[in-house]
Structure 1
Amino acid sequence: MSGRRRIAGFLSAVAVLAAASGCGLVSGEQPLATSSSPQVEKITIRVGVLPVVDVAPLHIATKNGYFRQEGLEVETVVVQGGAAAIPGLIQGSLDITFGNWVSFIAAQSKETAKNVGGIKLISDGYQAKPGMFLILVKGNGTIRTLTDLVGKTVAINTFNNISELTTKAVLEANGIDPKKITLKEMPMPDMEAAIERNIVDAGFMSEPFITRAQRNSGQIAILDAASGPTSGIPIAGYGTTGKFAQENPKTVAAFQRAMAKGQRDASDRATVQGLLPEYAGVDRDTSKLVNLGLFPTSLDATRLQRVATLMKTYGLLQTDLDVEPMLVRG
């Protein structure tokens, strides 16, 4: 065989191998764990999420390939709330979970996760703005003021979480004794129907459930729970256990880098709006109307300490707790 033929054959073989190596990749999708990708301890991680606006950055990071660029595969698991997800962290069925800061701080205070190194906070998620935490009632019902709530039942997604804290704080700020209102646990997607069927009198909802209940059932808001003492309050983020963070530092750091990019991209309303029908189960018209909060790109101990202080004030913490040691900074 001549030298020219050998070179041609070699180039053809290279072309075939190159084509084969690209099989199975969607256009624009990043390959997982290339030689230039960070070497993480655990490639596939199970992350607890809720079908709410708050987790949009995680879905953005997934769709844009930010996790894959970091050598990670994220498997999402739907949970009812932050408090409900913590047993999954402790038992190891979840590696990381989205949750509200109140649930994470309460679990740390009670030493619920003591045997697995405690609760560690690794990524900020969501911060309140007006109109995104509302207590809704029937549009044609008899409840029209906060005073009308006395003796009534209000649905919240879980106890010992941001819903309970902000509800109690804002009620008290408006002269209503929180002890005169009954709180009932219920998944947020079920609240609209429960109000219409008189199973509960009101429901604490976040987006997209607020806009859906207003559009579908004509429900109205009688309280903005992100106002007064809770205005601009940090709401939620991502946590893990000390054990997981210690054993998988590169995995946690990779998750933090990908999430920072997702949080950054979530500042574009159109990006969040376009994803809501995919993971939150709302139609596109509803997604155009939802009220969005803020998506912080870094953890801030001073900001989160405000949550712990409010928890102590309203009885969700028995003693003071310093949030700083809980943070794992990226």
Structure 2
Amino acid sequence: MMFHLRKGFFCFLLVLSLILPSHIVFAREKTSSEPVRLKVLLLPFLSYAPFFIAQEEGFFAEQQLQIEFVQMSSSAAAIPPLAQGDLDIVAGTLRISTLNAIIREGKIKFVSDKGHIGAGGCTYYGIIARQALVEAGDLKNPSQLKGKKICLASGFATSEGYFVEKLLNRGGVKLNEVEIQEHIPFTAELEAFKKGTIDLTVGGEPKLTRMVESKHGVLWMPVQEIVPDFQFDVIAYGPSILQKNREAGRRFIVAYLKAVRQYHQGKSGRNLGILRKYTNLDTEFLKKICWPSIRIDGSINAKSVLDFQDWSIKKGLLDRPATENQFWDPSFIEDANKILSSVSK
């Protein structure tokens, strides 16, 4: 009798394991360890939307992660502490300083998309021209950029400089035939547009819409017409994850990509409410502006990074090139996509 009971019990367990494997695996993902504390850079920008969503919807908590958001002046300021292990995760603009840190120390890698120049759809990044200049017919094509004053708020040694030189090349205009003005705050930049002391600038949202609504600037050329599918934002891991806790890094990307899936639902009431809370932009303005493109699977356009790197080397801004394997680790998104796919079935 006891033999039959044991046999029946084991048969029951076998059937249960065949029916619910994905749920059991996923539960183990969430409960296999105590909550892990991660220090993550957070800035109040639209491209951090999946971070906001993951926090508000409890996706990080589902993965047994306790996130400590750290605010700094910019993502550039976060690279040294990331390399030293004082920060675990930094998401931000693709920067030459980050590539230099990867090449010199080998302690940082990109692990997911956080924003790219979508080839179609709305314009998140654009070349903004002074309205009076366009209305006068002085900017009908890139060849007329010669002699113009161009503002690069982030500086030339950034993707903005890359965009502008690509544009100048189209018109056969050399870099020394324009005047580049750098690191000008938005309010001063807007005033310069009014006075005519700046002719063009490069900007993403919400700067783009604010410039256009001021009636002093117009969207002259979408950046997707210059560098379609360019990888302008990435998530980067430092040695505290890459060398010491890859499991926590994998769980972070599971939560992040789950949030990206919700982000892809668009300007829903829930998403608008979350973005309003973290960006301090009002709902009507959020409805109006273009949201950045983020790939649902987290993949990046590695070729665009290599192209940007080549330009940086030619300009003497980068020590030497990094290989794709040196700056990109796709294993985290590969694992996360498998987990999310198994759960959704």
- Fold equivalence (TM over 0.5): yes
Structure 1 residue 171: Cα displacement? 2.7
CA contact (8 A) 2:160 2:202 kept: yes
CA distance in 1, matches of 2:275, 2:282: 8
Give CA deviations for 1:267-288 in whole Å, capped at 9, x if unaligned: 1221454433222232222211
Q: Distance in 2 between matches of 1:81 and 1:231?
A: 25
Partner of 2:10: none
1:279 equivalenced with 2:271 (yes/no): no
Matched, 1:210 2:208: yes
Which AA in structure 2 matches 1:76? F
Q: Which amino acid aligns with 1:282?
A: L
> 140-149 or 241-250: which moved more?
140-149
2:296 is aligned to 297
SS state of the match for residue 296, structure 1?
coil
Deviation at 1:312, TM superposition (A): 0.4
Q: In the TM superposition, what is the alpha-carbon distance from 1:124 to its structure 2 partner? A: 1.5
Contact 2:130 2:198 in 1 (8 A): no
Alignment match, 1:165: 162
Structure 2 counterpart of 1:98: 91
Identity of aligned residues (%): 19
Match of 1:37 among 31, 34, 49: 31
Give 1:240's match in structure 2, choosing from 229, 237, 241.
237
Q: Secondary structure at the match of 1:60?
A: helix
Q: Distance in 1 between matches of 2:30 and 2:264?
A: 29
CA contact under 8 A between 1:98 and 1:238: conserved in structure 2? yes
Structure number with higher helix proportion? 2
1:120 aligns with 2:109: yes
Q: What is aligned with 2:265?
A: 268
> What SS class does the counterpart of residue 243 from structure 2 fall into?
helix
- Give runs of aligned pairs for residues 120-269 of structure 1, distance below 5 A: 120-129=109-118, 131-140=123-132, 145=139, 146=142, 147-148=144-145, 150-179=147-176, 180-186=178-184, 191-192=189-190, 195-196=193-194, 200-228=198-226, 230-269=227-266
> What is the CA-CA distance between 1:59 and the residue it aligns to?
0.8
Two-structure CA RMSD over aligned residues (Å): 3.3
Give the corresponding residue for 1:288.
287
List aligned pairs for 1:45-64, cutoff 5 A: 45-64=38-57
Change in CA separation of 1:227 and 1:306 when aligned onto 2, cut-off 3 Å: same
Can you list the C-alpha shifts for 1:261-311, whole angstroms capped at 9, x where unaligned?
Answer: 11121112214544332222322222111123321133546x213321243
In the alignment, the residues of structure 2 paired with residue 313 and residue 122 of structure 1 have an alpha-carbon distance, to the nearest angstrom, of 22
Gaps of 5+ in 2: 1-27, 333-345
State whether residues 85 and 240 of structure 2, in contact with CA within 8 Å, keep that contact through their aligned partners in structure 1.
Answer: no
Q: Tell me the secondary structure at the aligned position of residue 226 of structure 1.
A: helix
1:92-133 per-residue CA deviation (whole Å, 9 max, x = no partner) reads: 44321112234476224651xx1xx42211222112125211
Secondary structure of the structure 1 residue equivalent to 2:151: strand
Q: Judge which range, 177-186 or 62-71, deviates more.
A: 177-186
* 2:307 aligned partner: 309
